[in-house]
Amino acid sequence: MKTKAPSERLLARLPIYLTYIKSLPDSTVNISATKLASALGYGDVLVRKDLAKISDGGRRKLGYVRQDLIRDIELFLDYNSATTAVIVGVDRISLSLTDYFYLEHTGLNLLAGFDLSSSIHETEKGLPVYAIDQLDAYCNNYDISIGIIAVPKARAQEACDRLIACGIHAIWNLSPAHLTVPSHVVLQSTNWGSSLASLRMQIKARTQI
């Protein structure tokens, strides 16, 4: 018996649902697929089908129990079982990212940061930061599944190669560089340009009406 892998689209929507549902006032007990859909600008049947995939159903007339739905989405997205990660490049974006991981519980367990610093120190959020030379030794002691890249464009490929050389099989690329990885490694790149392009087209469409 194999469950079909969830679609990329569904995986993108679920965290958005989650953010919205969590943003509701604490007094909210129930949330219907219909309301969720209209708040986020999706079709109601789409949301209903999505929710059907990840939970065991709501109550007619009432909708879903908010806390149960949060739990079910988090369960589906594996937010409860931690995935270990290290980040290369500790400044700016990575700090803001650690904020995010500490505040939202996404199941990402960020263990350490590595950068050009010569001495071990800690960020305000308690993330230990080591010199990049120590990456290899560190990865031998801990089982790391995701390597996050947050260095400037020019050094991104080098950082990527280094992480892979340490035995890491999954790269999350937050730099604006194009990266090449061997076929046994999973790569997910974020691209600000895509999001911006979409926004600008929406603006253009509005002003042309």
Binding residues (CB under 7 A) for DNA: these are 7-10, 32-35, 42-46, 48-49, 51-52, 57-64
The rounded Cα 120 to chain-centroid distance in angstroms is 27
Closest alpha carbon to 94 in 123, 130, 117, 120: 123
Q: Pick from 44, 72, 104, 115: which binds a second copy (CB under 8 A)? A: 104
Place of tokens 């789409």: 46
- Contact stretch for a second copy (CB under 8 A) within 8-16, 47-55, 59-67, 131-139: 8-16
For the window 112-141, what string marks contact with a second copy as x by the rule CB under 8 A? ------------------------------
Contacted by 130, from a second copy, DNA, none: CB < 5 to 8 Å by type: none
Instruction: Give the other-Cβ count within 10 Å of 114's Cβ.
Output: 24
CB nearer to DNA: give 49 or 153.
Answer: 49
Contacted by 138, from a second copy, DNA, none: CB < 5 to 8 Å by type: none
Least CB distance from residue 12 to a second copy, whole Å? 4
Sequence-distant (≥ 6) Cβ neighbours of residue 34 within 8 angstroms: 44, 47, 48, 63
What whole-number distance in Å separates Cα of residue 107 and Cα of residue 115?
24
Contacted by 105, from DNA, a second copy, none: CB < 5 to 8 Å by type: none
Closest alpha carbon to 22 in 67, 81, 79, 78: 67
Sequence-distant (≥ 6) Cβ neighbours of residue 97 within 8 angstroms: 87, 148, 150, 174
Contacted by 58, from DNA, a second copy, none: CB < 5 to 8 Å by type: DNA
Q: Which residues bind a second copy (CB under 8 A)?
A: 5-6, 8, 11-16, 18-20, 23, 77-78, 83, 91-93, 95-97, 99-100, 103-104, 106-108, 145-146, 152-153, 169-170, 172, 176-178, 186, 188-206
